[in-house]
């Protein structure tokens, strides 16, 4: 990781990122399974085994872990086995007991805000899709990391009013969006597509990076398409580090 930027981001794969604010690095939504080790997500337009791509060669050193929600493409058995059980692990309150049951000893559910190593973590709302589908997908969260710079990790959400409210409240320097326009055979996408990303771009002057792409079988929006359909948006490759 770079040490001369106030905030930087390394995309590992899918939504797994290393987010550094100041000198503190958070590992977010670890998916560590080898390529093809997990079954495809059901009721989706293709049946390729997940993850679709291999794990890049990235230094995954970190000070703490954030899990925005426990869907298997955001926290998997391989991550559970590899992570230090004593690592500080920030999560949604409704999912804290599951981490404790798995043997993690420093689980820190975030109701509203928490502090760690000079960074304030604010948990923010998300909506994982539209209508009844979003209800069935269960609770999801984003996190704002506030230090010398402010980084908004939106998590698995579509564009809706609470995302706009979070942008207005925190005025982040950088925003990380989960793209891919993930979808099932019926209904609207459950993560951000071109229009969602464009709406965020319209709502903030922050740097914007889009991850959660080309790694899971129901993420149908390609990096190339997103780059061609948006302006002033960073779409990193797996293993790429960007200064924000």
- The domains of the chain are located at 7-235
Report the C-alpha gap between 96 and 89 in whole angstroms: 9
* 28-51: average pLDDT: 96
- Token pair for residue 115? 């502090």
> Which stretch of DSSP H or E encloses residue 108?
strand 107-109
pLDDT at 85 > cutoff 70: yes
Average pLDDT over residues 84-90: 98
Stretch 58-84: mean pLDDT: 98
**Omega before 236 cis (within 30°)?**
no
Cα–chain center distance at 126: 11
Strand partners, 178: 211
Under the banding of pLDDT at 50, 70 and 90, the label for residue 5 is low
How far is it, in rounded angstroms, from Cα 30 to Cα 79?
Answer: 6
Q: Mean pLDDT in the chain?
A: 96
- pLDDT at 167 exceeding the cut of 50: yes
- How much is the average pLDDT of 142-159? 98
CATH for 7-235 is 3.60.15.10
pLDDT score for 4: 43
Q: How far is CA 5 from CA 76, 121, 129, in A?
A: 30, 19, 34
């Amino acid at each position: 990781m770079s040490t001369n930027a106030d905030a930087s981001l390394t995309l590992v794969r899918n939504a797994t990122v290393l987010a550094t604010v100041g000198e503190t690095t958070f590992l977010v939504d670890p998916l560590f399974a080898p390529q093809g080790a997990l079954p495809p997500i059901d009721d989706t337009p293709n049946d390729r085994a997940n993850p679709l791509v291999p794990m890049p060669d990235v230094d995954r050193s970190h000070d703490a872990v954030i899990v925005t929600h426990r869907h298997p493409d955001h926290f998997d058995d391989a991550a559970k086995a590899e992570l230090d059980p004593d690592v500080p692990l920030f999560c949604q309150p409704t999912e804290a007991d599951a981490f404790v049951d798995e043997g993690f000893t420093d689980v820190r559910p975030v109701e509203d805000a928490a502090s760690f190593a000079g960074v304030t973590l604010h948990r923010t709302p998300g909506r994982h899709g539209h209508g009844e589908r979003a209800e069935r997908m269960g609770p999801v969260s984003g996190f704002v990391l506030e230090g010398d710079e402010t980084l908004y990790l939106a998590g698995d959400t579509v564009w809706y009013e609470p995302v706009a409210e979070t942008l207005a409240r925190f005025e982040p320097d950088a925003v990380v969006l989960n793209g891919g326009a993930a979808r099932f055979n019926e209904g609207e996408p459950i993560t951000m597509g071109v229009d969602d990303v464009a709406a965020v771009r319209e709502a903030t002057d922050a740097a914007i990076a889009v991850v959660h792409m080309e790694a899971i079988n129901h993420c149908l929006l390609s990096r190339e398409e997103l780059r061609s359909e948006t302006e002033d948006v960073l779409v990193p490759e797996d293993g790429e580090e960007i200064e924000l």
